[in-house]
Amino acid sequence: MIMRKAAAPARTITAAEAAGLVRSGMWLDYGGVISQPDLFDVALGARITELADIKIRNTLSMRPRAVMEADPEGRHVHMVSLHMSGYDRGLHAQGRCSYTPLNLGEISDYYRRFLDPVDILIVKARPLEDGWFNLGPSNLWMRAVIERARLVIIETCASLPHVYGEGSAIHESEVDYVIEGDHAPLPELPNAGATAVDEAVARLIIGEIEDGACLQIGIGGMPNAVCSLLAHSGIRDLGVHTEMLTDGIADLYRAGLVTGAHKRLDPGKAVFTFAAGTKPLYDTIDRNQDLLCLPVEYTNSPHIVMQNPRATAINSTTQIDLTGQAASESDGNRHLTGTGGQAQFVRGAYAAERGKSFICLPSTYDKRGERRSRIVFNLTPGNIVTTTRADMMYVVTEYGIVNLKGKSAPERARALIQLAHPDFREGLERQAHEARLLPRGFSFVGGVRTG
């Protein structure tokens, strides 16, 4: 690990004094998720109209950013997101936030190889303990940012859970300034209740999960529904090697179903790089040595993921075409989230011994009162492909599950039509025949397993 050396011992200053260090044209870094600064953010917002051309890089804002609210026309500050939350998405729609296309597991490398040094890193951490500031459950690419930052400012927050794992703390000798935080409660990400469709999809996935599976669970109602059903499935000795630690995974851990006994890497430990959820999740994490919060290049790299037998990746998407391309991050030209770790976990899980990757989605959605199919002949113009057709393994809707590996283009089309809502199947089949994606006389049924 490369240690940064501050020019002088860390000095405690106010949030206003810290904001006073910002100059026009600077690149600031707010870190990500629950470790983004609040007191500094408010103080910078109070003087943002004095500055010009300020860029702030961050990930998954969990609450509104005061500096952005203080500049509603975007004349002084612009946000650059590495993965968008709903709040960031709203800023993007206003032209006040941009997205950087990337695989989340490669971001540390981006900071070290491709991005200019950060002028000021401002991030929350726990108060100093034995010479170290613990960064809480947002390890991510923080070590790479610290190495490349001209100034490092810590805003203390005793509410952050204390985590274990390489790269999860910063030594006091690396810090330039400290802001005494207000230790306010952490932002929470509520869990939406599972719908009947979510539960139908989850039941199909559960039928493919084995004892000893090593789970990666993505964000969303369907992956969380899988966790809920797993708790009552009789499946045992689960492992966890994931990007995001969710409430659903924490529930499985508290129920004694996560033992990591069959993991080849980090046996007995649940591995993640960041957490977002509710207070019970944060309480489960705090000083829990069964859980390891590790850098994103370790959690997400396919060559690491594949080393755990029965690696099982469960992620969701918003649209799939009849060849198996999944668009998971945009609605046409309207950006929604980001690539995240989906593509990397799809590849890593497939490459593992007895590994499996699942991409799930409801068959339909409503737009302006009109029901539409999420399985389409062609993706919506402007939609971004997150998981390629060559990488796609299992696809799941409430109407069935199919493994696309090894299937020809006509076989894929036939199978995916069977996964679509019945109201749209005839139209999809007609389009496939007109484009000769389904040749005349082709009768293969697609290998779909229904509930």
Residues assigned a catalytic role: 243
Question: What would the two tokens of residue 56 be?
Answer: 């702030």
241 in Cβ contact with 216 (< 8 Å):
yes
Nearest to 325 by CA among 381, 406, 390: 390
414 in Cβ contact with 445 (< 8 Å):
yes
- The residue written with tokens 């069964």 in the block is 290
64 alpha-carbon distance from chain centroid = 19
Residue 104 burial (10 A CB sphere; 0-12, 13-18, 19+): buried
Beta-strand runs (E) in 33-104: 54-59, 77-81, 97-99
**Cα distance between residue 66 and residue 36, in whole Å:** 12
Nearest to 416 by CA among 393, 388, 391, 446: 446
Which string of DSSP letters, residue by residue, matches 19-50?
Answer: HTT--TT-EEEEEEGGGS-SHHHHHHHHHGGG
Element (H, E) at 366: strand 364-367
Residues in the chain, overall count? 451
Q: 173-195: buried (b, 16+ CB within 10 Å) or exposed (e) per residue?
A: ebbbbbbebeeeebebbebeebe
